[in-house]
Amino acid sequence: MKFFLAIALVVIIEITLCNAQENASKQGWKFGGALPAIAYNSDEGFKYGALGYVYDYGKDYYPQYKKSIYVEWSRTTKGSGINNLIYDDKKFLNTNLRLTADINYLTEKMLDFYGFNGYEANFDADISDPDSPLYISRAYYRIERKLWRVLTCLRGKTKVENLNWYVGLIYMHHRIAAPDSEKLNKGKSGKDIIPTPTEQNNLYLKYIKDGIITDNEKNGGSVTQILAGLIYDTRDNEAFPTHGIWAESFFSGSPKFLGNGGGYTAINSTLHQYFGICERTLVFTYRASFFSKLSGEMPFYMLPFFYNSQCVYNGLGGNRTLRGTLRNRVVGLSNAFLNAELRWKFIETKIGGQDLYFAFSGFFDSGRVLKSFRYSQLLQAGYVNGQEKWHSNAGIGLHVAYNNNFVITIDYGRCFDKQDGQSGLYVSVGWLW
């Protein structure tokens, strides 16, 4: 039911926007599209808010854009929320430099926490299922997190064709705690009541008790990362690439004097490739990504992220990495993942002078931890209950694009292994890559 409601909502919004801009030219600043952020979750309550894009097409950039601004504001009745502003300028100060800035404040009352190192950490869905005889708490695999995240990056051309240099800065400030059962229990009764988190009924508190999570990191901290690397890009366009390569690799360093959680270096490398099968309507594409800590010591709260040159996402697991797998299920000191996707534009038309297309996609996602986090401590404390292997999912997607750049995506993915959950349905903006 939710799937069809989402589709209906997309169509209504797109038709409204098209009619509102019937005679608009595709030059200068234009409203790109908007989507109400409405959902319900028994732990977070009702979600309400909105997200949207505006684009500057300049004089002759369409279907590309010169600048874009993305804004999202949403809240839930239990206190979780997203406050996000992204500015992307492909002609910074009218030069060939590209500037991206992403400011984000996230509050999560029930953020997924399944331990470390993928299948080495056993997941038992019955523990958090109130209808199971093995039930302990719905908050067993959960933590509370408040996160300030600021990313800014600059890239420019080198003397080698299609090769760009890249520098960036990411600041993160985490505040971590066990879930606040008092707030989460408001309006609940009977089996829906969450017990007060203790070392017996919350995995995060268990890890603190057994020394897996140290005292100086258990409540979070601040980390500043300095990034430098290279980007090779031969895509025919960014909105819907039909051929070309987009590859990037960058090193990150987190100096101790720029935060209380720093003192390590890492590498991030990602390869995207696109193959046009039938002109501009059928495309096969894949994304292969690798992350590894190189030196130093990472605090546990810096593990569940996937980086590219423009954004930072939760991962691995969930909407932006392994669609269908539980969010943050696959975290370690080194990991790799692969997404493969077949994209088909089955309708491409104009409404009110504005471009509109509908596309289907079929996908396969797989990823795993390559190097374990604090393996010896986990083994000694008895938390290593399995052997890591590839976490895989497959699914389908529906995509509606207004003027090529504003793309509403509905993805549904199912897991191959119940240790990763069952399935996931995601409504978001933009193609995954």
Quick one: residue 374, left, alpha or beta (phi over 0 = left, psi -120 to 50 = alpha)? Answer: left
Integer Cα distance of 416 and 372 in angstroms: 22
Integer Cα distance of 174 and 221 in angstroms: 5
Integer Cα distance of 126 and 141 in angstroms: 11
The predicted structure's pLDDT at residue 25: 59
The predicted structure's pLDDT at residue 16: 46
The predicted structure's pLDDT at residue 307: 86
Residue of 359, 364, 350, 340 whose CA lies nearest to 407: 359
Sequence-ordered list of residues with C-beta below 8 angstroms from that of 12, at least 6 positions apart, any chain: none
Task: Please report, for residues 116, 118, 187, 372, the alpha-carbon distance to residue 385 in angstroms, rounded to integers and kept in the order given.
Answer: 11, 10, 37, 13
b/e sequence 337-353, b meaning 16+ C-beta within 10 Å: bbbebebebeeeeeeee
Integer Cα distance of 346 and 344 in angstroms: 6
Helices (H), 30-187: 181-184
Residue of 366, 372, 365 whose CA lies nearest to 386: 372
Task: Please report, for residues 78, 177, 180, 202, 386, the alpha-carbon distance to residue 379 in angstroms, rounded to integers and kept in the order given.
Answer: 36, 24, 29, 19, 11
CA 413 distance to own-chain centroid = 15
Tokens of 367: 């990823």
The predicted structure's pLDDT at residue 74: 85
Integer Cα distance of 407 and 428 in angstroms: 8
| DSSP string across 298-360 | --GGGSSEEE-SS-EEE-SSSTTSSBTBPTT-S--SEEEEEEEEEEEEEEEEEETTEEEEEEE
**CA count, 13 A, side-chain hemisphere, 298:** 24
Integer Cα distance of 261 and 169 in angstroms: 15
Integer Cα distance of 118 and 321 in angstroms: 14
The predicted structure's pLDDT at residue 309: 83
Q: Are 420 and 326 in contact (CB under 8 A)?
A: yes
Total residues belonging to the chain: 433
The predicted structure's pLDDT at residue 335: 96
Provide the β-strand partners of residue 428.
409
Cα angle for residues 144, 147, 151 (degrees, 5° grid): 155
| DSSP string across 316-332 | SSSTTSSBTBPTT-S--
Q: Are 325 and 414 in contact (CB under 8 A)?
A: no
Q: Are 155 and 97 in contact (CB under 8 A)?
A: yes
Q: Are 401 and 240 in contact (CB under 8 A)?
A: yes
pLDDT tens over the chain, length 433 residues: 344 344 444 444 444 444 444 434 577 787 776 767 665 544 555 678 888 888 888 887 787 788 999 998 988 776 678 899 999 999 998 898 999 999 999 999 999 999 999 999 999 999 999 999 999 999 999 999 999 999 999 999 999 999 999 999 999 999 999 999 988 888 888 888 999 999 999 999 999 999 999 999 999 999 999 999 999 999 999 889 999 999 999 999 999 888 888 899 999 999 999 999 987 899 999 999 999 999 999 999 999 898 888 788 887 998 889 999 999 999 999 999 999 999 999 999 998 888 899 999 999 999 999 999 999 999 999 999 999 999 999 999 999 998 888 898 889 999 999 999 999 888 888 899 9
Residue of 264, 255, 261, 318 whose CA lies nearest to 292: 264
Cα angle for residues 114, 261, 43 (degrees, 5° grid): 35
